[in-house]
Amino acid sequence: MPAAMPSAGSEASAPPTGTLRSAVKALPLPSMRLLILVLIVLLAALQYRLWVGPGSRADLHGLNLEIVAQKAELERLRTRNQELQAEVEDLRSGEAALEERARDELGMIKGGEAFIQVIERSPLPAVPAPPDTEPATPAPRHKKNSPAAPKPAAPKKAPPVREERQ
């Protein structure tokens, strides 16, 4: 049997053994120190970005908190939308709900009903009530014409209330 002959292309494609070791051994000592220094700086830069820089773990934690807050807000808004949708359906289908809303918001009345509008007056300023017991020492009395005598306050009149009918 004829022996297999190695082809010319297979010898060139096979890397010689020990090339990496020989390349490292061939480097002078200062270039090794420079390579180690570059690798340490690269590692430090990657660690900085992981812990402090943009996209760090602190940023990730902050974004997770924002996601939780957004989910809570979304759930609140969904509940509100469901309530509003139920109210819309009730207004579309039921005449009683429509009538109630018209009475409350628009002041509408049925035929034969009397409309009475209650207008609340603004409260008058509070006047201190006289004490139930007398003070231990009597207050000094002032003469009517003396400048130190306190003047009695004039009672305030409330503005007239106008009632409107619809």
Residues 61, 36 share a domain:
no
The amino acid that residue 19 corresponds to is T
Mean of the per-residue pLDDT values for the chain?
75
Task: Dump pLDDT digits (tens) for 45-96.
Answer: 888 877 887 778 888 899 999 999 999 999 999 999 999 998 888 878 878 8
Does pLDDT of 24 surpass 60? Answer: yes
- Residue 16 is assigned to a structural domain of this protein: no
Domain count, the chain: 2
- Residue 128 is assigned to a structural domain of this protein: no
Residues 61, 50 share a domain:
no
Residues 98, 71 share a domain:
yes
Residues 41, 84 share a domain:
no
Domain stop point among 70, 85, 110:
110
Q: What is the pLDDT of residue 69?
A: 97
- Residue 143 is assigned to a structural domain of this protein: no
What 71-76 contacts at long range (C-beta under 8 Å, 24+ apart), as own/partner pairs, is: none
Task: Dump pLDDT digits (tens) for 7-20.
Answer: 554 444 555 566 77
Does pTM surpass 0.75?
no
Residues 76, 35 share a domain:
no
Q: For 136, which DSSP code?
A: S
* CA–CA gap between residue 50 and residue 53 (Å, rounded): 7
Does pLDDT of 148 surpass 70? Answer: no
- Residue 146 is assigned to a structural domain of this protein: no
Give the domain range for residue 46.
Answer: 25-54
Q: What is the pLDDT of residue 151?
A: 59
- Residue 160 is assigned to a structural domain of this protein: no
* CA–CA gap between residue 141 and residue 149 (Å, rounded): 8
For residues 38-58, one letter each, b for 16 or more C-beta atoms within 10 angstroms of the residue's C-beta and e for the rest, the string is eeeeeeeeeeeeeeeeeeeee
Residues 64, 40 share a domain:
no
- Residue 132 is assigned to a structural domain of this protein: no
Q: What is the pLDDT of residue 71?
A: 97
Q: What is the pLDDT of residue 163?
A: 58
The amino acid that residue 52 corresponds to is V
